Chain A
């Protein structure tokens, strides 16, 4: 299976779903950002458009995915977990088995290669859960790039292990103490850095959001997930799934797997958003379910905001989904009805987190547990004839502190 290697086809081929040349997916996307950064995103567009048809770039990227990131990732049927999903067959796309433990490596390897091509020496990144930060620090170590990661102070506490990991890999981690001290503030701070250092610095954005061309190129680097999964499920069961389920914070893993099936109209694409304490409370991050159109971090998309257009804080047990915006292509897919989006509460996600661990011996990231909880709901709705493909976007080792607190797994709580 080599979905990435051929010029003019596969992962980087233009699709009927590409944005216009200024980055608009319908009314969404574009460039809502300071003039000072327009030259940098123009440069990135030029280099990306060249790279996506350059056999040398494609071969180098394909080689890194295969020999460094451990692709193709497996497709595993979760036979016992299926009982909790109404008996529907559940297949897991195992992005958790990639190097660094999540899908994030696909995008960082691609963008790090672009950074080298642009002749830039320094990379900055934002991170929420730390998965993108760790992946970026990893790629920078591999490719000899200086690396600075901005991380909300709240998240550095929730994900202390990942901070240590990034530092071990040679990155500088800067805790962000402004605003809500989470992912959105880390992005603000990274943008401020970028404006001041754009000559020698690439902003390695970690999700399919931000100004054009980020939503396009981040999506394309992750399309490998859907391309592999489609081939694998046809090999294993000889038919397409009824539903593809993925968690959506910014939406990069979801857009990557959705694109493998977007032209299969019978396949439902379902994004699972962080419902936090519930979407009737003010503590959630369900941007597509409850947000309003707005411009944030460079793109027009659904945004969680108050009636004055002030951005509100997102809340989720999962640091990686704790973001009040979402990638513009998801806003478009929602509007045209090609994808549907549902909220999953913290409690539902944590139930799925424990269930997958116990039934399959796979500890999922809490982010991915939202997709698993969605699969449980949808499976019960559709029954045992259904086939659900879940993007298991990351592994849960990083979430042990949260799990210890949630389930009382410490020494005193050890009752099972």
Chain B
């Protein structure tokens, strides 16, 4: 039984996709990120991904790069992450952490897992750790009952989708485009094909991310994915105002409830 099963079970029961929103911890400040995440939870995110700001975010486009830089300049420390996760749990939300691997290595894989679990976090998304190199993390996540969300990409072979599915718990993160994070105008046509391939290997829920910024796009993804992941658009809204975060969340929450066949 995965920690995230209840989230996806409830959404499935309601006949819709889950809305998964990303925000870097510490952006623009530690307290500011707690406020924004609370707003995201209150106005319709079924799950939030708390990002760990990293100096060298190779999978991120300009929006999240700049947000991470700003958080680090404002003095963000890895230990602050757990307070942010705790505040999501305290607000009744569900949180996983998304992080590049080096900060976890330095903190200590086992210690990171222990502190994340203690803070009420449910799992970890690892964009630059593939299962092949993840023996320590697999052991630590088993020990502390945390979900581990690995990524699959349009370029993944069947063998790799199979390996990644078997190594994951909670959900699989399908990157819908070949490219870095960042809001895009059009939902990639690679995504439905990738999700179809993934489903031949696993019954695990599939979240689709990279590029979503509107309810209409969310509705397109909701037609074939179990979770719609939105990142950069939340960062942009957070820079604007709490009202903008609320409006974006509500628009996306409506989108995941009104699945339409992709154009």
Contacts and interface: CB of A to CB of B under 8 A. Distances in A.
Interface of A: 22, 30-40, 42, 178-179, 184-185, 188, 191-192, 195-199, 292-297, 300, 303, 305, 307-312
Interface string B107-150: 10000000000000000000111101100000000000000001
21 contacts: A22-B132, A32-B101, A32-B129, A34-B128, A35-B153, A35-B155, A35-B175, A38-B130, A38-B155, A38-B156, A39-B155, A185-B56, A192-B59, A192-B61, A195-B179, A196-B177, A198-B178, A294-B106, A295-B101, A309-B78, A309-B104
The list of the 10 closest CB pairs from A to B, nearest first, reads: A309-B106, A36-B153, A309-B103, A196-B179, A39-B155, A310-B55, A309-B102, A191-B58, A308-B78, A311-B55
Contacts of B56: 179, 184-185, 188, 296-297, 311
A188 B157 contact: no
Interface in B65-87: 65, 69, 72, 77-78
B105 A31 contact: no
Contacts of A35: 130, 150-153, 155-156, 160, 164, 175
Contacts of A295: 101-102, 105, 128
B127 A303 contact: no
Nearest to A185: B56
Contacts, number: 116
A198 B155 contact: yes
A311 B102 contact: yes
B180 interface: yes
B153 A192 contact: no
Contacts of A293: 105
A354 to B, nearest CB: 36
Contacts of B58: 34, 188, 191-192, 297
Given A35-B156, A192-B180, A309 B107 contact: yes
B167 to A, nearest CB: 11
Contacts of B69: 178-179
B102 A305 contact: yes
Interface in B193-225: none
Contact of B59 (A32, A195, A303): A195
Nearest to B76: A308
Contact of A34 (B65, B103, B151, B154): B151
Interface residues of B, number: 41
Nearest to A325: B56
Contacts of B153: 34-36, 39
A36 B178 contact: yes
Contacts of B127: 34
Contacts of B103: 308-310
Contacts of A40: 155
Contacts of A185: 56
A31 B56 CA distance: 16
Contacts of B132: 22, 30-31
A113 to B, nearest CB: 23
B102 A303 contact: yes
Interface in B148-186: 150-157, 160, 164, 175, 177-180
A37 B105 CA distance: 21
A196 B178 contact: yes
Contacts of B54: 309-310
Given A35-B151, A188-B58, A294 B180 contact: no
A292 B157 contact: no
Contacts of B154: 36
B140 to A, nearest CB: 16
A190 B75 CA distance: 28
A33 B126 CA distance: 10
A311 B54 CA distance: 8
A197 B56 CA distance: 20
A32 B132 CA distance: 9
A178 B65 contact: yes
A31 B163 CA distance: 15
Contact of A31 (B77, B104, B133, B155): B133
Contact of B105 (A191, A192, A307, A309): A309
Contacts of A308: 77-78, 103, 106-107
A310 B72 contact: yes
A179 B55 contact: yes
Given A36-B154, A192-B59, A308-B107, 14 more contacts: A22-B132, A31-B130, A31-B132, A31-B133, A33-B130, A34-B59, A36-B155, A39-B155, A39-B157, A39-B160, A196-B177, A293-B105, A300-B133, A309-B105
Contacts of A198: 155, 178
A191 B55 CA distance: 15
Contacts of A30: 132-133
Contacts of B129: 32
B78 A32 contact: no
Contacts of B105: 293-295, 309
B75 to A, nearest CB: 11
Nearest to A40: B155
A189 to B, nearest CB: 9
In the complex, which of the residues A34, A40, A179, A303 has the most CB atoms of chain B within 10 Å of its own CB atom? A34
A86 B260 CA distance: 79
